[in-house]
Chains A and B, each alone.
Chain A
Amino acid sequence: MSQNTLFDKVWDLHKVADLPGGSSQIFIGLHLIHEVTSPQAFGALKDKNLKVRFPSRTIATVDHIVPTDNQSRPFKDNLAEQMIDALESNCKKHKIKFFNIGSGSQGIVHVVAPELGLTQPGMTIACGDSHTSTHGAFGSIAFGIGTSQVRDVLASQTLAMNKLKVRQIWCKNKLSDGVFAKDLVLHIINRLGVKAGVGYAYEFSGPAIDALSMEERMTICNMSIEGGARCGYVNPDKITFKYIKERQFAPKNENWIKAVTWWESLASEKDAIYDDVVSIDASKVEPTVTWGITPGQSIGVSQKIPELNELNADDQFIAGEAYEYMGLNPGQAIKNTPIDVCFIGSCTNGRISDLRVAAEIVQNHKVSPNVKAFVVPGSEKVAKAAIEEGLDKIFKEAGFQWREPGCSMCLAMNPDKLTGNQVSASSSNRNFKGRQGSPSGRTLLMSPAMVAAAAIEGKVSDVREFIKK
């Protein structure tokens, strides 16, 4: 059993009680809600005649269903309008702070909470969205929950949970030029598998992680869930504190000093005991691309799609399904695979640093004539910063569409969808069958820089060749 890890410390601090059945009751410090997974939870509160016990500990925004072309209300899609309307009225009724479209702070919930300084080390954070693991980048214990659990957090600010085991993923050495956090996390998921994290919290540590910016750490923790781990985290350090300082909801004045002292005490101890330790050599990671229908089915851009007999017996069934669905053959190179749609955005890679990297690749190039390419900033703040830096112009001049913030084609709950069996190069997190809105649409996951290179070439390309140019 793990001891003296950040996970243990934060868990113990938030444990309210041991429940009779053997699980624990855990206090949730920050509860984030959005329009898709909350309406039924508010409905259940009403049915049970319960109120929101600590409304100031819940924060709302709208992200999944928002259109990215025309955000004027009412939305053209009546169902989407009903959902935002339900969130507006639930927040009003229960006195929950809501960052709505046009507030200047709306955006993807996992982009918004960190940039407002709401996400802080040592907190427990829950949200009805599996990518809540993102917030672990700050040294918080953050995880996705379902709607019944959203109801429980609204009603009691607590959840019934079993304690997770802790696996340290030690990333040694550093990432090479042209290789990004997204490549590293895809590589980790490929190495460990998509279900290895079930029952675990992942601690990402080592020199390669220490060298990452907060936004890069968020990309890593964001995809913990794609490796099966409900929660992933990075021990907080000076980079963490610098990011948080002076943000809207950050501790101020003498509280800031006290907070930093407390945050410093939270990191896993040198003598911490882990349930498992894995080592990854970051210097060996290439720009990485998925070829299949799970985020674990990835290869370096210079590699070939694996043959069945090169895979573990347990991975062969889904690989067979993937070859067929993707229309790709084992032994085939992934490089030069033709691309129809390029999507830069999402809670994984829709932050300002992601847009900067992609813009640098795109500058002075044109999007291939057969490609539809678009950029969806992760939040209104990201969009504003990008426009101030002129990134929107760079993208538009190259032939990208510049859109309004939201989740967009990561999960295609809004009008941004693949059609037919189009192939997308996507900076998002899931390449599941049908994920991007067409039941036969195909998704290749990669870093924003690799998406930018694919947009220019019209096919999967090695971004390192662009950097050399």
Chain B
Amino acid sequence: MKEVFQTPQGKILKVSGKCISLVGDDIDTDRIIPARFLKCVDFESLGDAVFEDDRKDLNGKHPFDLKFNQNAAILLVNSNFGCGSSREHAPQALMRWGIKAIIGESFAEIFYSNCVAIGIPCFTLAKKNIKSLQLSAETGNLFIEIDIKNVIATEGSTKHKLNLKESSKNMFLTGQWDATSTLLSNFELIERTMENLPYIKLNK
């Protein structure tokens, strides 16, 4: 029987693992998880379908199929990763394949906020530094450990300074990326804000 996937819980202070390089700009969420896989009422089975069409097209040569990338946990991408559809199925599929963090040149906004909401930190790094990391991941095993508090990735004796939005960093360090309970703790303020909105009364 297949193991039940354990989603991240609580504070996220560190992510470590093998890196997997995926080269390309503007990789959209339709490519990460094609729409036909959205016909589901839970996220459980999405891991196997990640990049399904791109992988079929490359016939075993897609980074997610290469043997030496198996069990990788840190995805290295280029510019505007995750653009397009808001489907959370995209980061869910990546997570269920094994991705725990992403380092890229830039991320599309909804994809980024979906990643925060499910506990996948997304770091940015300048184009040339990403390229060099991608190259080392493609030519040999690249293992890194990311310290979220100091936003530093350590690879053996080399350290790379990454970038992470301050608000996202705080959410990972405190566990508040799982936002529901924090939001609900302000319930009186929510009601007060609502009562002060002109349209609430005008639409009664």
Contact = CB atoms under 8 A, between A and B. Distances in A.
Nearest to A293: B26
Most B CB atoms within 10 A — which of A148, A152, A198, A249? Answer: A148
B42 A430 contact: no
B183 to A, nearest CB: 4
Interface stretch (B10-18, B30-38, B69-77, B147-155): B30-38
Which of B79, B166, B183 is packed against the most chain A CB atoms within 10 Å?
B183
Contacts of B80: 194-195, 198, 228
A332 interface: no
Nearest to A86: B41
Contacts of B36: 412-413, 437
Nearest to B40: A79
Interface string B163-204: 001111111001010011011101101100110111111111
Given A122-B199, A123-B199, A15 B183 contact: no
Contact of A25 (B31, B56, B183): B183
Nearest to A26: B193
B109 interface: yes
A180 B167 CA distance: 40
A144 interface: yes
Contacts of B53: 433-434, 439
B84 A83 contact: no
Contact of A432 (B31, B170, B184, B187): B31
A448 to B, nearest CB: 22
Contact of B24 (A82, A157, A317, A439): A317
A433 B197 CA distance: 43
B182 A195 contact: no
B86 A199 contact: no
Interface string A176-204: 00000000000000000011001100000
Contacts of B103: none
B88 interface: yes
A259 B202 contact: yes
B38 A439 contact: no
Nearest to A156: B183
A27 B193 contact: yes
Contacts of A16: 186, 189-190, 193
B28 interface: yes
Contacts of B42: 39-40, 43
B117 interface: yes
B186 A25 contact: yes
B43 interface: yes
B174 A20 contact: yes
Interface residues of B, number: 68
A417 to B, nearest CB: 9
B86 A128 contact: yes
B86 A146 contact: yes
A36 interface: yes
Given A152-B183, A251-B202, A259-B202, A17 B189 contact: yes
Contacts of A147: 88-89, 114
Given A29-B199, A122-B199, A228-B108, A412 B35 contact: yes
B65 interface: no
Contacts of B166: 21-22
Nearest to B78: A317
A80 B39 CA distance: 6
B62 interface: no
A22 B199 contact: no
Contact of B79 (A48, A83, A195, A411): A195
B202 A262 contact: yes
Given A14-B197, A120-B199, A155 B180 contact: yes
Interface in A144-160: 144-149, 151-152, 155-160
Name the 9 nearest CB pairs between A and B, nearest first: A21-B170, A146-B88, A146-B114, A148-B117, A144-B86, A22-B167, A439-B53, A79-B39, A130-B86
Interface of B: 24-26, 28, 30-31, 34-36, 38-43, 53-54, 56-57, 78-80, 83-89, 91, 106-110, 113-114, 117-118, 165-171, 174, 176, 179-180, 182-184, 186-187, 189-190, 193-194, 196-204
29 contacts: A20-B176, A22-B170, A36-B38, A37-B88, A39-B41, A40-B42, A43-B42, A48-B180, A82-B41, A128-B88, A130-B110, A145-B86, A145-B113, A146-B91, A146-B114, A147-B89, A148-B88, A155-B184, A160-B183, A161-B113, A195-B108, A251-B199, A251-B203, A318-B26, A413-B39, A430-B28, A433-B31, A435-B35, A437-B36
Given A21-B170, A132-B86, 4 more contacts: A21-B166, A23-B167, A27-B194, A157-B194
